[in-house]
């Protein structure tokens, strides 16, 4: 690549507004998992639970298609309301980061024999924002005629979310919607270490009752057998790469963290629209937990959209302090480190060009 000078974009200059209709239209698997299928998931032979998950989810998808009209159309308004299921109406993929849970969740979405508009796929934070944008009753009406709702990164970080999601999923189960979720935390332990979960035990137990837990064991596939992540580059290398890479953004890391505090996390995906690379200078440990959790969401959206991250400063495995990595959100932080490390590896050619 020649040293053609581009004017880098800036994440800090963007304040996206996301209309409600876009929130609904974008409830599909993200670009990284657009082609995810059960056939392309490669189970680790040393981890039988991975192959078992494929088998269970394939059967679950087939069951969701039972009784679907030709063409996967919506249920007619005069059709008999489905009977309330006697047992769990969903599956809950529990396991460490990097074992392929999102790949399996997206594969389930693709395998379920229903029209795309009758299947929804989104992160937990996107689902709660949808309720905020549409209102509770309209969200129930919008999702209530779906065959399947997939919720990635299911976490309960505050009591308000616990009550909201418990009530919403109860309504959707009553309407006959199939549920599937991924998380690093067993459903009965959601919220543990984050707030006084025992005060909301009824809601948490109600959530747990909707799902059959499916444990997936294994190592982080993103780094299995791969070399160590590249060390951070010098600031001038990052800036030079940003100026010669069309569609790259360039921001100082502290300024970006401050900017994220002014934007709802559900809009972080829109924040990255059109980007081909993210270049960051002066990466340093995040100062507090609220900032750290916002960075986790941004890392997830960058990973979903396959956007390389080129950075100077400290390595990504030093972003979160020891107290954070031992606290209630530690699994989120380890997932963010894993994903950012993979994106840093993807960005190496930009620095070498």
Q: In this structure, what CATH number is given to the domain that contains residue 97?
A: 3.40.50.300
Same structural domain for residues 170 and 67? yes
Same structural domain for residues 208 and 120? yes
Residue whose entry in the numeric block shows the structure tokens 């979405």: 109
Highest-scoring range by mean pLDDT, 190-204, 217-231, 324-338: 324-338
pLDDT mean across residues, the chain: 83
pLDDT per residue as tens digits for the range 26-48: 899 999 999 999 999 999 899 99
Same structural domain for residues 63 and 212? yes
Looking at the domain assignment, is residue 23 inside a domain? no
For residues 257 and 45, what is the distance between their CA atoms, to the nearest angstrom?
Answer: 41
For residues 98 and 218, what is the distance between their CA atoms, to the nearest angstrom?
Answer: 8
Q: How far is CA 252 from the centre of its chain?
A: 25
Looking at the domain assignment, is residue 33 inside a domain? no
For residues 54 and 49, what is the distance between their CA atoms, to the nearest angstrom?
Answer: 9
- pLDDT for 158 equals 59
- pLDDT for 335 equals 86
- pLDDT for 77 equals 34
Looking at per-residue confidence, does 181 or 210 come out higher? 181
Q: How much is the pTM? A: 0.79
Q: Which of 157, 183, 216 is the last residue of a domain?
A: 216
Q: How far is CA 179 from the centre of its chain?
A: 16
Same structural domain for residues 74 and 143? yes
Length of the chain: 353
Same structural domain for residues 78 and 180? yes
- pLDDT for 97 equals 73
For residues 165 and 131, what is the distance between their CA atoms, to the nearest angstrom?
Answer: 9
Same structural domain for residues 142 and 58? yes
Looking at the domain assignment, is residue 98 inside a domain? yes
pLDDT per residue as tens digits for the range 79-98: 444 444 445 678 888 887 77
Query: Which pLDDT band, with edges at 50, 70 and 90, does 198 fall under?
Result: very low
* Phi, psi for residue 254 in degrees, rounded to 5: -60, -40
Query: Which pLDDT band, with edges at 50, 70 and 90, does 208 fall under?
Result: confident
Mean pLDDT of 152-169: 76
Same structural domain for residues 291 and 336? yes
- pLDDT for 89 equals 79
Looking at the domain assignment, is residue 251 inside a domain? yes
- pLDDT for 202 equals 54
Q: Which of 216, 238, 264 is the last residue of a domain?
A: 216
User: Taking the CB of residue 87, how many other CB atoms lie within 10 A of it?
Assistant: 7
For residues 124 and 131, what is the distance between their CA atoms, to the nearest angstrom?
Answer: 11
SS3 for 7-55, per residue? Answer: CCECHHHCCCCCCHHHHHHCCCCCHHHCCCCHHHCCCCCCCHHHHHHHH
Same structural domain for residues 57 and 191? yes
User: Taking the CB of residue 153, how many other CB atoms lie within 10 A of it?
Assistant: 21
pLDDT of 219 strictly over 70? yes
**Domain limits at 91?**
45-216
Q: Lowest-pLDDT range, 10-19, 94-103, 113-122, 205-214?
A: 205-214
> Which residue in 106, 110, 191 sits closest to 151, CA to CA?
106
Looking at the domain assignment, is residue 5 inside a domain? no
- pLDDT for 78 equals 34
Of the chain, the percentage scoring pLDDT greater than 70 comes to: 81
Looking at the domain assignment, is residue 292 inside a domain? yes
pLDDT of 25 strictly over 80? yes
Looking at the domain assignment, is residue 2 inside a domain? no
Rg of the chain's alpha carbons, rounded to an integer? 21
Whole-angstrom CA distances from 84 to 81, 89, 149, 175 are: 9, 9, 17, 8
- pLDDT for 229 equals 65
pLDDT per residue as tens digits for the range 54-82: 999 999 999 887 654 434 444 433 344 44
- pLDDT for 167 equals 87
Looking at the domain assignment, is residue 250 inside a domain? yes
Same structural domain for residues 177 and 56? yes
Same structural domain for residues 303 and 191? no
> Which residue in 88, 109, 98 sits closest to 34, CA to CA?
109
Q: Which of 216, 249, 265 is the last residue of a domain?
A: 216
What kind and span of H or E run contains 282?
strand 277-283
Looking at per-residue confidence, does 249 or 352 come out higher? 249
Where does residue 130 rank: exposed (0-12), middle (13-18), buried (19+ CB within 10 A)? buried
Sequence-ordered list of residues with C-beta below 8 angstroms from that of 30, at least 6 positions apart, any chain? 269, 304, 305
Query: Which pLDDT band, with edges at 50, 70 and 90, does 250 fall under?
Result: very high
Query: Which pLDDT band, with edges at 50, 70 and 90, does 128 fall under?
Result: confident
- pLDDT for 85 equals 44
Q: What's the number of domains the chain is made of?
A: 2
For residues 303 and 44, what is the distance between their CA atoms, to the nearest angstrom?
Answer: 22
* Phi, psi for residue 278 in degrees, rounded to 5: -120, 125
* Phi, psi for residue 72 in degrees, rounded to 5: 70, 30
Same structural domain for residues 71 and 199? yes
Same structural domain for residues 241 and 199? no
């Amino acid at each position: 690549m020649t040293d053609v000078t581009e004017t880098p974009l800036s994440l800090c200059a963007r304040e996206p507004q996301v209309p409600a209709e876009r929130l609904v239209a974008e409830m599909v698997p993200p670009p990284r998992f657009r082609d995810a299928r059960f056939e392309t998931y490669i189970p680790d032979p040393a981890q039988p639970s991975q192959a078992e998950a494929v088998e269970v989810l394939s059967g679950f998808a087939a069951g969701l298609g039972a009784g679907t009209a030709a063409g996967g159309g919506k249920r007619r308004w005069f059709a008999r309301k489905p009977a309330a299921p006697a047992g769990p109406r969903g599956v809950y993929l529990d396991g460490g980061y990097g074992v392929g849970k999102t790949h399996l969740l997206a594969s389930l979405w693709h395998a379920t024999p229903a029209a795309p508009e009758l299947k929804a796929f989104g992160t937990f934070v996107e689902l709660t924002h949808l309720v905020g944008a549409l209102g509770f009753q309209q969200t129930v009406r919008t999702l209530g005629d779906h065959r399947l709702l997939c919720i990635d990164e299911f976490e309960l970080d505050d009591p308000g979310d616990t009550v909201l999601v418990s009530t919403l999923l109860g309504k959707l189960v009553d309407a006959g919607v199939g549920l599937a979720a991924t998380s690093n935390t067993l459903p009965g332990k959601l919220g543990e270490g984050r707030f006084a979960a025992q005060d909301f035990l009824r809601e948490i137990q109600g959530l747990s009752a909707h799902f059959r837990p499916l444990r997936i064991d294994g190592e982080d596939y993103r780094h299995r057998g791969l070399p160590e992540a590249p060390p951070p580059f010098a600031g001038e290398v990052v800036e030079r790469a940003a100026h010669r890479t069309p569609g790259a953004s360039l921001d100082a890391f502290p300024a970006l963290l401050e900017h994220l505090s002014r934007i709802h996390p559900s809009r972080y995906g829109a924040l990255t629209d059109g980007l081909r690379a993210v270049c960051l200078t002066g990466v340093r440990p995040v100062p507090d937990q609220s900032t750290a959790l916002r960075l986790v969401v941004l890392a997830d959206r960058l990973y979903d959209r396959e956007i390389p991250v080129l950075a100077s400063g400290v390595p990504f495995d030093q972003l979160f302090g020891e107290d954070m990595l031992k606290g209630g959100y530690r699994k989120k932080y380890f997932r963010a480190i894993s994903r950012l490390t993979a994106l840093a590896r993807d960005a190496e050619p930009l620095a070498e060009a």
